[in-house]
Amino acid sequence: MNGLKFSAIAIGVGLVVMAFAAWLGLDYFYFAGYTILQYIVLATAWNILGGYCGYVNFGSAAFFAMGAYSSVALHKFDGEIDTWFPDNIAPLLHAIFPLPIPILILFGGIVSGIAGLGMGYLTLRLRGSFFAIATLALAVVLQTLVVNWDFVGGSRGAYIIRPETIVIAGFEINYIIYLFVLMLILAVIALTTARAIERSQLGFGFATIRDDELAAEASGVPTLRLKLIATTLSGAFMGMAGAPFPYYIGYLQPASAFSLDYAVNSIAMPMIGGTTSWIGPLVGSVLLGSLQQIATVTISSAVNLLIVGILLVTFVIIAPNGLVGLTQEHWRKRRRP
Amino acid sequence: MVISVDLLINAIVAGLLLGGFYAAVTAGVSISFGMLDIVNIAHPAFIILGSYIAYIVNISFGIDPIIVSVVALPAFYALGALVYQVYYLSFEKRGQESLRGLAFFFGLLFITEVSLILVFGVDYRYVEAAYIGPSIHLGLIDMPLRMLVPCLVALAMFGLLELFVTRTFLGRAIMAVSQDQLALQLMAADPIKIKRIAFGISIATASIAGALLIIIQPVEPSVGREYIGRVFAICVLGGLGSMPGTLIAALILGVVESLTSTFYGPSWAPAVSFGFLLLTLAFRPAGLLGR
Amino acid sequence: MSALLHVDNISKRFGGFVALDGVDLEVQPGERLGLIGPNGSGKSTLVNCICGTLQNESGSVSFDGRVIDGLAAHQRTHRGLARSFQLPRPFHSMSLADNLRIPLLYTVHARKGPLRSAGDLDARCHELLDMVGLLKKAKQLPRDLTQVEMRKLELARAMAAEPKLLIADESMAGLSHSEIDDILELLVRMNERGITVILIEHIMSAVMSFSQRLAVLVSGKKIADGKPEDVVQNPEVVKAYIGQ
């Protein structure tokens, strides 16, 4: 099944989900659903570098936050147009700004993609374990920079008032549904991309890096170039997931944008789901994401991180190939006799 | 900016005292990462665990936190040995230590931190001891005892570890295992057992480091995260597996952090250690005194 | 100078340990060179420096008329250098056929442009596997192979890159006589098709029968280089191998 057909099916599934949501009529569903879709993108993005290439990125939060903060920066920029620009230029800018969210998403993707490229260039010559630590360091450095950048609110945070509704093609749509749909489309794009990579020569090359980087080089695989592609793609998608976040949440603070929770979730979801294919992150994020939503609502939000931690450790020990791996084992055993 | 000499000297002294303490915090990772090549990013969580144990006993029975931590050493050692055993059986044996081992320790970090939040909440906790409060004054220099005492204990512990590693058979076996596992096997020593002992010692140091931490500053569960960068920055900067290098790097980092904090404000402090780490990794991964 | 490979006075240290100390080596096109030396003499380090896995600190390596210092390993492979690893390093998550597909996709294609369709690729993988006698296991994973078979896979993977020069690093350690003969036959066949071969081995009978020229490395220095019969009688070589 080629990429286009897959996307079509994925969108179809998404529409079914939406129809279900509309039937439920619960606004909460869109809020929760947005979070889960966001995690699908983050987990899939992480898996491109982590699962396919074998390089663990602890700094997912940084790329996510950069996407979020680029939206905040653009939003603030919009507010400053009249102050900064002379009267003949300002109206031109006002015609473009405020930028619609899809453009913000693109922008967030570009910013985080470049950051991914830069980080890769600095650190990918290091062994896997050094790389992982470097990603953590990068996340904290970026967080410190943002905390000290008053233009986007620094540690006090930034408010973005979310409009109630938005008018698209003549229809007035509830804003949260708009955000939900955008994230749904982004999730479909992420999954389609991951799947396409898996089946391509690029994905093949990624697998050799994961299996044995030295042998890959000796066989002619340009490992550094491929790794840079992986970090750039991975970073870009994380940034894209982060770009609408300030509009979703209304008030953005560095502590929440850079929260280590994003790091642990973007690692736990693919590892629990299974890292060798695009299905793993999808399964992991839907299951774990839903579990966390339920736990937050019923028990407390601290407990849900405990659950993630325990599940991560358990799966990593018992089921290294995740749920997808377990399923594959099961089918293989049934086929054997 | 006019820099007062008084402020500068005190910032440097505070940095040195802090650096001594950082050396103790890093000692464990120097063993686990420097010698055993195990990326235990959960180490700071064990330190915080040590802090809380010192806290409970201190608050309940009034016993000095450092004494508590020494008494707790065997328990921490056992915990370390257990963690290593699980790590070895699940990952090292299967040759999957890079991806899954990292995820394992990351998970442990979270489990420990969140468990502490659930039990103790997010309030800052601190201990009571005779030396928390008073300071020594030497001319221009002010040395709070709550920094001096931990620094001295840290240096003592560090010195003991260095002696252990260079003078005892077991210590040298640990150095050997980091360099040539096969040769060690041929000498009829069991590398796995030696690694387990080493890792146990590594976690045991967290007990003491934890007590020292809560003497220096109030502690709450997520304090550990700041230390991840510090610990690995010092380890890498000092050259993996080199104890003297680790000490020097710790002192340097302590001083730089102190100066930054004093003259630029504490909100820049985390960037210092993590920035150091990034720069070192990018430009000189072998560290200052590395092999 | 018509040498295919020219190693010019290269040195390599690891901390305080000198692994290679001013080593010179020339290999002519089509030649069969044997490289021997005691354990730890620097043979594998030499291979690593030639192939780009390690960078030599001084001296220079030229291949096919051009200096290759500073080139990454994959670039050297693209230029026609291939090696097998002393301890086999297969891609363990892929089938044998896929293991061979990698050098085809990334080296042969990179050199010549994608001339082959998927079907052609498959055929070529199977052809290579057949050459080493592993065709029946084409769909299996490397973990199902025996030691010998893994060595053969290593060689097949190096061959798949269509090299001008192949360095076989101790491919025969621990094999039986007939297995050694199998591998030797493979290497000879490759040589007959124009591939220059450097054979690094401890098994003297294999080295003697295979090599047109023999070089000896001891403690990072080349102590002999010439016809096998002569080298073997060189007193320094004898001392290095037998008495000390």
- With contacts defined as CB-CB under 8 Å, which chain B residues touch A325? none
Q: Flag whether B91 is in a domain.
A: yes
The whole-number pLDDT of residue C79 equals: 92
Q: What is the CATH number of domain C5-89+163-241?
A: 3.40.50.300
Residues from chain A contacting residue B282 (CB–CB below 8 Å): 122-123, 134
Inter-chain CB proximity B99 and A50 less than 8 Å:
yes
Q: Is C222 within 8 Å of C37 (Cβ atoms)?
A: no
Structure tokens at A6: 């897959």
Indicate whether B291 belongs to any domain: no
pLDDT at B127: 83
Q: Is A200 on the interface with C (CB under 8 A)?
A: no
Q: Range with the lowest mean pLDDT among A101-110, A148-157, A161-170, A326-335?
A: A161-170
User: Given CB atoms, is A332 within the 8 Å cutoff of chain C?
Assistant: no
Strands (E), B106-220: 135-138, 141-144
A288 lies within 8 A of chain B by CB: no
The bridge status of strand C32-36 relative to strand C213-218 is parallel
Strands of chain B, DSSP E = 135-138, 141-144
- What is the nearest CA distance from A309 to chain B, expressed in angstroms? 5
pLDDT in tens, A63-80: 999 999 999 988 888 877
Q: How far is A213 from chain C (nearest CA, A)?
A: 9
Domain span at B172:
5-283
Residue C112 at interface with chain A, using a CB cutoff of 8 Å: no
Q: Which residues of A touch B225 (CB under 8 A)?
A: 260
**And the tokens for A74?**
């653009």
Which DSSP state fits A152? G
What pLDDT, on a 0 to 100 scale, did the predictor assign at position A242? 94
Which helix H or strand E contains C17, and what residues bound it? strand C17-27
Using an 8 Å Cβ cutoff, are A44 and A230 in contact? Answer: no
Chain C: list its partners (3+ Cβ pairs within 8 Å).
Answer: A
The tokens for A211 are 């299996």
**CATH architecture, domain defined by A3-335:** Orthogonal Bundle (1.10)
Q: Does A218 touch chain C (CB under 8 A)?
A: yes
Of C72, C92, C103, the CB nearest to A219: C103
**Chain B partners of A56 at a C-beta cutoff of 8 Å?**
98-99, 102-103
- Residues A314-336, mean pLDDT to the nearest whole number: 84
Which A residues, 55 through 84, put their C-beta within 8 Å of a C-beta on chain B?
Answer: 56, 58
CB C142 within 8 A of CB C90: yes
In whole numbers, what is the pLDDT of chain A averaged over residues? Answer: 87
CB contact under 8 A, A216 and C161: no
Strands C58-63, C32-36: pairing is unpaired
Residues of chain C contacting A223 with CB distance shorter than 8 Å = 74
**pLDDT by 10s per residue, chain C, length 244:** 578 999 999 998 887 788 898 899 999 999 999 999 888 788 889 999 999 988 888 899 999 989 999 899 999 999 999 999 988 999 988 999 999 999 998 988 877 766 667 778 888 889 889 888 888 888 899 988 988 888 889 989 999 999 999 999 888 877 888 888 888 888 998 899 899 999 998 888 889 999 999 999 988 888 888 898 888 888 888 887 765 4
**Residues of chain B falling short of pLDDT 70:** 1-3, 93-97, 180-189, 284-291
- CA triplet A69, A39, B103: central angle to 5 degrees? 100
Q: Which residues does A81 contact at the CB level (< 8 Å), separation at least 6? A: A90, A93, A94, A97
Contact C83 A222 (CB under 8 A): no
Under an 8 A CB cutoff, do B111 and A136 touch?
no
Residue A9's pLDDT band, with cuts at 50, 70 and 90, is confident
Task: Please tell me the distance from the alpha carbon of residue B69 to that of residue B47, in angstroms, as a whole number.
Answer: 11
Q: How far apart are the first and last CA of chain B?
A: 41
Distance from the Cα of A331 to chain B's closest Cα (Å) equals 23
Question: In chain A, which residues have their Cβ closer than 8 Å to the Cβ of C73?
Answer: 214, 217-218
Tokens of B289: 């005194």
Indicate the number of domains in chain B: 1
d(CA A241, CA A63): 9
- The predicted structure's pLDDT at residue B291: 40
For residue C180, CA distances in Å to C36, C135, C136, C195 come to 16, 19, 21, 19
CA dist B184 → B174, B180, C38, C117 (Å): 10, 7, 21, 51
**How close A209 gets to chain C, by Cα (Å)?**
9
Of C100, C84, C113, the residue nearest C142 (C-alpha) = C100
What pLDDT, on a 0 to 100 scale, did the predictor assign at position C244?
A: 44
Which alpha helices (H) appear in B4-138, and where do they start and end?
A: 5-29, 43-61, 65-71, 73-87, 102-120
Interchain proximity A126–B99, CB inside 8 Å: no
- To the nearest whole angstrom, how far is the Cα of A210 from the nearest Cα of chain B? 9
Supply the angle between the helices B102-120 and B223-238 in degrees, to the nearest 10.
Answer: 150
Where are chain A's structural domains? 3-335
Instruction: Please give the structure tokens belonging to residue A273.
Output: 């789901």
**Sole residue written with tokens 């994380």:** A238
> Tell me, what amino acid is at A116?
G
Nearest CB to B107; choose among A58, A140, A312: A312
Question: Does B65 sit behind a cis peptide bond, omega within 30 degrees of 0 on the bond before it?
Answer: no
CB C73 within 8 A of CB C51: yes
Tell me how close the Cα of C81 comes to any Cα of chain A, in angstroms: 9
Q: C30: alpha, beta or left, given left = phi > 0 and alpha = psi -120 to 50?
A: left
Pick from A58, A134, A306: CB nearest B111: A306
Which chains, if any, share at least 3 CB pairs under 8 A with chain A?
B, C
CB pairs under 8 A between A and C: 80
Tokens representing residue A61 in the block: 């939060």
Domain ranges of chain C: 5-89+163-241
Which residues have CB under 8 Å from B96's CB, separation 6+? A320
Q: What is the predicted pLDDT for the residue at A125?
A: 75
Read off the pTM: 0.89
Q: Which of C110, C125, C122 is nearest to C159 (CA)?
A: C125
